[in-house]
């Protein structure tokens, strides 16, 4: 058995992220001691290894959870799929390196846009996801997304980042403040109306992701100011625990 700090040390995954994985049911500790310490056995570490491989392949956490929790999940088949995806990415990166060297040798006027095509990788990813199934929220998102235009995606991005900007402007108030909580309710309603059914459980998971996922954190802090992602996480936690 290993403590959460030991797992963090040997895997490079932060303690905060491991706590988040526990909170969303992605990686539960094998047991929790009377003192409240999370302990992980080899089975849990094996699952974490799968999580990290799928993360390396750019799978969202929700999809990873669906895959690993699928009754038909096969460790051997998953490894074979992961190897195939890594090989495709290795091939793609090799082609990009060769192209960059060609530009270096022949000059910047060299044109070849085929090397940027990742359709083969994306197609195989879709096959992997189809094999293990999608979460209900993900299926709902895909159904809505199929009817949306590229213009709408830009509009949604602008609008949701505007919500984070407004939340960032309230950082001088405590997360429990009425005005802050009203903005969280607006955020939840916006996700419900435009993406998928966002109940309090899903909203709370999103709040954690806004901090744990560096891409989200960077974007949210860019629009709302430094510390906005953490502030939004705290405000969401208050909202969902009411």
146 and 115 in a common domain: no
Residues of the domain holding 176: 135-242
Question: Is 80 exceeded by the pLDDT of residue 141?
Answer: no
Query: 29: which 2 tokens?
Result: 């500790």
Looking at residue 168, its pLDDT comes to 94
Per-residue pLDDT, averaged over 146-155, amounts to: 52
Question: Is 50 exceeded by the pLDDT of residue 43?
Answer: yes
124 and 156 in a common domain: no
Model confidence at 150, pLDDT cuts 50, 70, 90, reads very low
Residue 14's region, left for phi above 0, alpha for psi from -120 to 50, else beta, is beta
Burial code of 104-130, b = ≥16 C-beta within 10 A, e = fewer?
eeeeeeeeeeeeeeeeebeebbeebbe
SS3 of 31, please?
Answer: strand
174, 210 in Cβ contact below 8 A? no
203 and 120 in a common domain: no
Looking at residue 90, its pLDDT comes to 80
CATH of the domain at 44: 1.10.1660.10
Instruction: Calculate Rg over the CA atoms of the chain.
Output: 21
pLDDT, one tens digit per residue, over 16-38 is 899 989 888 899 999 998 888 89
Question: How far, in whole angstroms, is CA 15 from its chain's centroid?
Answer: 17
- Put simply, whether the predicted model's pTM sits higher than 0.75 gets the answer no
238 and 139 in a common domain: yes
If you average pLDDT over every residue of the chain, what do you get? Answer: 80
Residues 6+ apart with CB under 8 A from 232: 164, 167, 184, 187, 207, 210, 220, 224
143 and 239 in a common domain: yes
238 and 158 in a common domain: yes
Q: How many domains does the chain have?
A: 3
How does DSSP classify residue 146? T
């Amino acid at each position: 058995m290993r403590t959460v700090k030991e797992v963090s040390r040997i895997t490079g995954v932060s303690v905060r992220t491991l706590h988040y994985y526990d909170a969303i049911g992605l990686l539960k500790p094998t047991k929790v001691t009377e003192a409240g310490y999370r302990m992980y056995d080899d089975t849990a570490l094996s699952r974490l290894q799968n999580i990290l491989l799928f993360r390396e392949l750019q799978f969202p956490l929700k999809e990873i959870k669906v895959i690993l929790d699928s009754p038909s999940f096969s460790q051997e088949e998953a490894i074979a799929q992961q190897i195939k995806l890594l090989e495709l990415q290795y091939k793609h990166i090799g082609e990009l390196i060769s192209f960059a060297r060609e530009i270096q040798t022949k000059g910047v006027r060299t044109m070849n846009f085929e090397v940027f095509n990742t359709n083969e990788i994306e197609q195989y990813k879709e096959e992997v996801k189809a094999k293990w199934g999608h979460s209900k929220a993900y299926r709902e998102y895909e159904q809505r997304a199929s009817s949306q235009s590229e213009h709408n995606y830009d509009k949604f991005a602008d609008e949701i980042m505007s919500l984070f900007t407004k939340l960032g402007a309230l950082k001088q108030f405590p997360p429990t403040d009425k005005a802050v909580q009203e903005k969280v309710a607006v955020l939840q309603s916006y996700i419900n109306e435009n993406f998928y059914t966002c109940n309090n459980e899903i909203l709370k998971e999103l709040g954690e992701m806004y901090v744990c996922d560096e891409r989200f954190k960077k974007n949210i802090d860019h629009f709302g100011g430094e510390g906005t992602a953490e502030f939004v996480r705290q405000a969401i936690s208050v909202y969902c625990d009411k």
